[in-house]
A and B are shown apart, each in its own frame.
Chain A
């Protein structure tokens, strides 16, 4: 449902993503692994058109969502971001109440339903409802780091996207919070298509159905997770997943 075809992104003269082609099947979790600065984030951001907010970014090739070219002339990037939501490495709750964090996206999109109902629903999906139900007016910044990331996931769900792009969502969390987020991601698979960039190989192995290995902006191997971790086709992928890498 989500696919890239010879997708390249350059920032000025620097190529961050080179000729990447891959297909993300619906209702699956695809993990993107690779060293720092290999283009994981850029690939994710290319799918919801947030690279273009960086000055000097240039995207070539195509990215398709249900067959529609995301970079087509008539496509509104705001609409793209509503359908393809993104969760960032660092949880960045708005300095507002828990409720206002949830309500911001739906309000921006002209949501006409009951915001409280929606808040309860998405906070429950994100596993945060029990923690915050008593006080939705509490400041979001008073939550713990793990809860803040759960809140960010909840507020993204509130926009009702079809796809969730998660950029190292547990990189700055402790193991307990990481486990919470991981089980949450797993439960989201039933409804959403998830693309998750991660540094944590065991996380990729635990969570995902397919794994893409990027190196220096190029897609080296894209295989079913079990294959990539046990019997990779390429030598680079083998070296990376076994830790025998320079």
Chain B
């Protein structure tokens, strides 16, 4: 037996339906999320505006303006921040050269070659995920112990590059593995069905299909680590470089550590230097990000 319609409806009838004879009005439903998300966006905007203000102040300071408005004669010059700029570029290069091949290779092994049910493989995956969450300063300590004390690599660009690469590696593995996992299995099955070997399937189907997100993930990880100061401070970056490093064996200098070294000093000259170095660092990271964006778009167009 079916109950009458009115009894069956346990839900409040929408006013727009009740007033169907009248012209339909735009629905006015209470939506908590709409308000909350607007508020969140406004907060984000305020934070961005604040950051822009700080940046403007930094530009002013770097050009010789002081914090209280009185101009001071100096300013940030290439002679002072040049070595650190070169150091950061070297470090980014070393990170990319080490973390990308090793990270991508590990991800390929985990996703395409390793048998997923093996306990050791699972443990390895979990370890990688946890390594990505280890604070960067710990990588610095590990680098100090292993590279500087253990391998006598010295407080060099080489040691810094290795530490930053180790820091970027888990992220590169995680993002690459995710990109590889996102390649539809149908594609693999079809390729195997045509008599391709595993290497051919990986090389010609999986990698091209995953290249864009792999590049994006790697770029993000490299940019992130290039801005790190903590591990390099622990390793013992110098803040009084008088010449730009020309190779991996030269003393470790970088922009983030330089910003830190200058920012903690009270004199206006150093404030200007710190501001100049911060701006240079931001410019480099922005450049890396933009390069990553272009690479991603290009890969998406060319490969598949």
Contact = CB atoms under 8 A, between A and B. Distances in A.
30 contacts: A48-B193, A50-B193, A53-B188, A55-B116, A56-B117, A78-B197, A81-B193, A82-B195, A85-B194, A85-B195, A86-B193, A90-B186, A92-B186, A92-B187, A92-B189, A92-B190, A94-B187, A94-B190, A94-B191, A94-B304, A95-B187, A95-B304, A104-B191, A104-B196, A108-B196, A108-B204, A109-B195, A152-B190, A156-B194, A159-B195
B289 interface: no
Contact of B195 (A81, A94, A95, A96): A81
Interface string A62-100: 000000000000000011011001101010101110000
A85 B208 CA distance: 24
A224 interface: no
Nearest to B198: A78
A104 B304 CA distance: 13
B209 interface: yes
B194 A159 contact: yes
Interface string B161-198: 00000000000000000000000101111111111110
A38 to B, nearest CB: 20
B193 A94 contact: no
A152 B204 CA distance: 17
Contacts of A92: 184, 186-187, 189-190
B205 A85 contact: no
Nearest to B199: A108
A94 B205 contact: yes
Contacts of B196: 78, 104-105, 108
Task: Determine the main DSSP class of B at the interface with A.
Answer: helix
A85 B193 contact: yes
Interface in B260-304: 304
A88 B186 contact: yes
Contacts of B195: 78-79, 81-82, 85, 105, 108-109, 159
B214 to A, nearest CB: 16
Interface of B: 115-117, 184, 186-197, 200, 204-205, 208-209, 304
Contact of A108 (B116, B188, B200, B208): B200
A95 B191 contact: no
A47 to B, nearest CB: 11
A79 B194 CA distance: 10
Nearest to B184: A92
A155 interface: yes
Contact of B192 (A53, A109, A156): A53
A88 B189 contact: yes
What 5 pairs across the A-B complex have the smallest Cβ distances? Answer: A82-B195, A105-B194, A108-B196, A92-B186, A95-B304
Most buried by A among B117, B188, B189, B208: B189
B87 to A, nearest CB: 41
A36 B200 CA distance: 33
Nearest to B116: A55
Contacts of A88: 186, 189-190, 193
A104 B193 contact: no
A88 B184 CA distance: 14
Contacts of A85: 193-195
Contacts of B115: 55
Interface string A103-117: 011001100000000
A95 B209 contact: yes
Contacts of A56: 117
A95 B204 CA distance: 11
A28 to B, nearest CB: 22
Contacts of B192: 50, 53, 81
Most buried by B among A50, A79, A92: A92
A94 B188 CA distance: 10
A37 to B, nearest CB: 18
A82 B197 CA distance: 11
A86 B205 CA distance: 18
Interface in A140-171: 152, 155-156, 159
Contacts of A81: 192-195
A152 to B, nearest CB: 7
A79 B192 CA distance: 11
Given A55-B115, A105-B195, 19 more contacts: A50-B192, A50-B193, A53-B188, A78-B195, A78-B197, A81-B194, A85-B194, A85-B195, A88-B186, A90-B186, A96-B304, A105-B194, A108-B194, A108-B196, A108-B204, A109-B195, A152-B190, A155-B194, A159-B194
